[in-house]
Amino acid sequence: MLDIAFIRQNADAVRAAIKNKRVDLDLDLLLTTDKERRTLLGELEQKRARKNEIAQLISKASKEDRPTLIEEGKAVKVALEQREPAMTEVQKRFDELMLKVPSLPRPEVPIGVGEEDNVEIRKVGTVRTFDFKAKDHVELMTLHGMVNWEGPRKFAGGRSYALMGTGALLELAVTRLAVDTLVERGLTMVIPPVMVKERAMTGTGFFPLGREEAYAITADELFLVGTAEVPLVSLHADETFEASALPIRYAGISNCFRREAGAYGKDTKGLYRVHQFTKVEQVVFCVPDEEMAEKEHYQLLGNAEAILAKLEIPYRVALACTGEIGLGQTRKHEVESWMPGRNEGKGAYNETHSCSTLGDFQARRSNIRVRTADGTTAYAYTLNNTAIASPRILIPLLENHQNADGSITLPKALVPYMNGVTVLRPKA
């Protein structure tokens, strides 16, 4: 959400952001509604002021003048009662349109439509060349008995799965490795609620445009989150930080839920795109300063890359184009891990992490402020990053470390979390 005064003064820039981010919003309708709202508000304020003035005059008026003032007071009251519903309706339309206004992308963000327009920043690690026919993660996990594919789909529907035995232990191991890495780097660990009220989803920018992706618990008016970002940011809704208390850096671990409403028939095989997953998410609150936000952004990105380095997974970092960044993001880097089994066995880099700067977009919606040294207040800046998301991360982990006999050699950093096991052997 942007400030309406900024929108009025920078309509062309906002219009460009709407176009380049591919947001369905009529800016002219918003500006017209805003004008209507301000006109109505001015009329109502005048009438309310006159109503108060009349009340004071009546108490001091002569017997002859009082009836006229009383009649005028009644007329003003009626006029207010007639116009206030219109104001309520206009304000509602205005608020709904404002929630769809995107943040302006940073100048370095490339203009584009899809992932093919992202700009590669760097590749890290060497893509492995196999001297045998490599298996994809579905074959490997089946061979090792790591997943029950069919059982859960009988009672939980499509895209459901159950990690079994070594598969379950591997997810726990990877998750704990990520957690320990972040704690060592100074982040505060949080296990937040995963059921939240609508305000939390709206405040963090996942509603209204992403509503179809969320699972709703209608009886309790709650929603299941698709990332710990939602509760971590919402922890401080309606709070004012002292500037000296920032930055605050959280690492939240949670189950996550997404309907994948827009992915019907896509990636239905395996664990690449599922409805339920486990994620460790980084969230930062910092002072509203672009230089400080940039520093925090690259620190978050570095944390994610450190985890991939420990897992010995080749990856690349790309600066996402305007069509690939969300409503509130001003900058996003995607980290794509090399998955040998993708692209019909030819291999491909696919997203496993993202790192985003959101400016004051979420703080403005969630009313999170910062009090500066001179006593003035402003909205905080927020950032977030995927530290690890499983089971998707298991795909490159297994596929990159497989051996000809179907065994999997674990990265050294993961061995302590797997009770000293160095090689996973297929089930007999």
CA nearest 305: which of 315, 293, 294? 315
Contact 286/246 with Cβ under 8 angstroms?
yes
Half-sphere exposure of 142 (CA within 13 A, CB side): 10
Give the C-alpha separation, 311 to 313, whole Å. 6
List all residues 6 or more positions away from 378 whose beta carbon is below 8 Å from its beta carbon: 288, 360, 369, 370, 372
CA distance 303 to 307: 7
Q: Is 273 a catalytic residue?
A: yes
Whether 330 and 359 have beta carbons less than 8 Å apart is answered as yes
**Of the candidates 391, 421, 424, which has an alpha carbon nearest to the alpha carbon of residue 144?**
424
Query: Is 356 considered catalytic here?
Result: no
Do the beta carbons of residue 145 and residue 165 sit within 8 Å? Answer: yes
Catalytic option among 354, 356, 366, 390: 354
Angle at the Cα of 260 (from 259 to 266), degrees rounded to 5? 145
Report how far residue 281's alpha carbon sits from residue 128's, in angstroms, rounded to the nearest whole number.
29
CB 26 within 8 A of CB 96: no
Residues 6+ apart with CB under 8 A from 182: 189, 251, 280, 282, 303, 387
Q: Are 45 and 76 in contact (CB under 8 A)?
A: no
Q: Pairing between strand 195-196 and 222-224?
A: antiparallel
Q: Name 181's Cβ contacts closer than 8 Å, sequence gap at least 6.
A: 303, 306, 307, 310, 387
* 167 close to 141: Cβ distance less than 8 angstroms: yes
Q: Which of the following is catalytic: 305, 351, 365, 366? A: 351
Distance of alpha carbon 118 from alpha carbon 230, whole angstroms = 26
Residue 369 annotated to the active site: no
Cα 369 from chain centroid (whole Å): 19
Q: Does the annotation mark 354 as catalytic?
A: yes
**Active site annotation includes 336:** no
Catalytic pick among 159, 258, 364, 369: 258
Residue pair 138/270 in contact by the 8 Å Cβ criterion: yes
Q: Which residues belong to the active site?
A: 258, 273, 351, 354, 392
